[in-house]
A = this chain, B = another copy of it.
Amino acid sequence: MSDAAESLYAPLFGDDGIERCFDARATLQGMLDFEAALARAEAATGVIPAAAAEPIVAAARAEHFDVAALGRAAASAGNLAIPMVKALTSRVAERDPEAARYVHWGATSQDAIDTGLVLQMKAALDILDAKLALLVDALAALARRNASVPIVARTWLQHALPTTLGLKAAGWLSAVARARRRLVNTGREGAVVQFGGAAGTLASLGGRGFDVARALATGLELDLPDIPWHAERDRLADVAAACGILAGTLGKIARDVSLLMQTEVGEAFEPSAPGRGGSSTMAHKRNPVACAVALSAAARAPQLVATMIGAMPQEHERGLGGWHAEWRALPELIRVVAGALRAMNEAIGGLEIDVKRMRENLDATHGLVFAEAVTMALAEKIGRAQAHTVLEGASRRALSGGLSLREVLAEDDAVRAQLGPETLDALFVPEAYLGMAQTFVQRALAEAGT
């Protein structure tokens, strides 16, 4: 077989480090790490001869095995563990036939496959956490630096009132910081060994099953769950959900950045680089490449979460179909999210800001975004109802006449009687109508621990 299409797509949609967590070698090594740790745990607890462990450990290196052959054998065996155990046993037997008798002792295929997946997942979540720390820092810096930089707030894609770029970034920060905590928490809950033997009772280990399980967990630096979880998949589904929600948050940032990059808006831009998002014939184009990656992740991740949750009703002690659906869905989900995270780290880390354009856009509706501010000021003099009527009329005249609201109000006797020109001018300054923006930014920064 030729290369999988992954070699074409992974650099764009993935993340190098995470791709390595889920490639064929890592998948195999995850299961082999289980077998090695099992042998050591069983030797330590006297279940197998002490001398049997190290030959098994030594053989349990993915590079020793023929990945393609194992894949083919899995097709008829129904899972990867069966041919893996066979191949591992053969390899051990070449050097130590006695030790070979103790490979996979007391375990079932699912013990190796699930624990292997947990190990891969744990390694991947550690990488994601480090990259989330970078994004948190970048967003915190963005929020702090622009805490008082006015930008128009847009609701339903329409100009509303002024806000600050810092508050916008603080909203992103707040959500990313929560996503990070959620990933750490679910990852910790999910970092449990799977070890139950064929029926979840560890019966073939007699009375020593629990001791082996405990030693195995310790050896793998995983938690020992209360009970084997062959057909109870909620912990994995929970990690999946946390990944999906992270993808949603990254998608939200990407949505905003791509909207800010629109030719007509032009307030913020992904960093440019030679060959990045450009177009040879259209020099003015600057495609939001990172946003496209994050948005595509946000389009795919929810369904991968649904696959993981939908696969949960697995039959009896070990199911069929549901369990198998997880094998590719969970790695795929983590890879997709990792790609989005890499992309948004690039985008936010090098985000280019056009403060002048933000100000121009604030002015684009000729002061209408300050109507609420004037209403509130006037209300203190003439009551809110009347103030509102005045402003509604003035706004309408400004809009239809192509005039600025400031000019219209300056001509309005009712207004002039209450608000002098300087007072009026002060009301059309975005900086003066930012409410709690600074407070909220500070709170988000504090909450994110930055």
Q: Write the A170-211 contact mask toward B (1 if CB under 8 angstroms, else 0).
A: 111011001100100000010000000111111111100110
Query: Is B328's CB under 8 angstroms from A284's CB?
Result: no
Q: Write the A308-329 contact mask toward B (1 if CB under 8 angstroms, else 0).
A: 0111111111111111110111
Q: List the B side residues contacting A7 at CB < 8 Å.
A: 1, 4, 24, 67-68, 71
Q: List the B side residues contacting A154 at CB < 8 Å.
A: 262-263, 315-318
**Among listed A129-137, A347-355, A363-371, A414-422, interface-contacting one:** A363-371
Q: Write the A288-314 contact mask toward B (1 if CB under 8 angstroms, else 0).
A: 110111111011111111110111111
Query: Is A302's CB under 8 angstroms from B309's CB?
Result: yes
Query: Is A320's CB under 8 angstroms from B299's CB?
Result: no
Judge whether A90 is part of the interface by a CB distance below 8 angstroms.
no
Q: List the B side residues contacting A76 at CB < 8 Å.
A: 273, 275-277, 289
Q: Residue A312 contacts which of B159, B251, B312, B317 (CB distance < 8 angstroms)? A: B251
Say how far A117's CB is from chain B's closest CB, in angstroms.
Answer: 11
Judge whether A146 is part of the interface by a CB distance below 8 angstroms.
no
Query: Is A399's CB under 8 angstroms from B71's CB?
Result: no
Query: Is A24's CB under 8 angstroms from B8's CB?
Result: yes
Judge whether A359 is part of the interface by a CB distance below 8 angstroms.
no
Q: For chain A residues 1-45, which have a beta carbon within 8 Å of chain B?
A: 1-13, 16, 19-20, 22-28
Q: Residue A245 contacts which of B80, B172, B241, B283 (CB distance < 8 angstroms)? A: B241
Q: For chain A residues 236-258, which have a beta carbon within 8 Å of chain B?
A: 237-238, 241-242, 244-245, 247-249, 251-252, 254-256, 258
Judge whether A395 is part of the interface by a CB distance below 8 angstroms.
yes
Query: Is B372's CB under 8 angstroms from A282's CB?
Result: yes
Give CA–CA (A261, B204) in the complex, Å.
Answer: 26
How many residues in A have their beta carbons less than 8 Å from beta carbons of B?
A: 190
Q: List the B side residues contacting A170 at CB < 8 Å.
A: 227
Query: Is A226's CB under 8 angstroms from B276's CB?
Result: no
In the complex with contacts A171-B227, A296-B321, A303-B306, A255-B313 CB distance below 8 A:
yes
Q: List the B side residues contacting A167 at CB < 8 Å.
A: 200-201, 227
Q: List the B side residues contacting A294 at CB < 8 Å.
A: 321
Say how far A236's CB is from chain B's closest CB, in angstroms.
Answer: 10
Judge whether A50 is part of the interface by a CB distance below 8 angstroms.
no
Q: Write the A205-228 contact mask toward B (1 if CB under 8 angstroms, else 0).
A: 110011001000000000001111
Q: List the B side residues contacting A423 at CB < 8 Å.
A: none
Say how far A11's CB is from chain B's closest CB, in angstroms.
Answer: 4
The 9 listed contacts between A and B (C-beta, < 8 Å) are: A11-B71, A77-B289, A101-B385, A156-B285, A157-B316, A203-B372, A283-B395, A291-B321, A299-B311
Please list the 8 inter-chain residue pairs (A to B) with the smallest Cβ-Cβ separation, ordered nearest first: A295-B321, A248-B312, A283-B395, A203-B435, A241-B241, A153-B199, A303-B303, A251-B313
Q: What 5 new A-B contacts, CB under 8 Å, besides A11-B75, A251-B321?
A: A4-B24, A77-B275, A158-B288, A259-B316, A281-B372
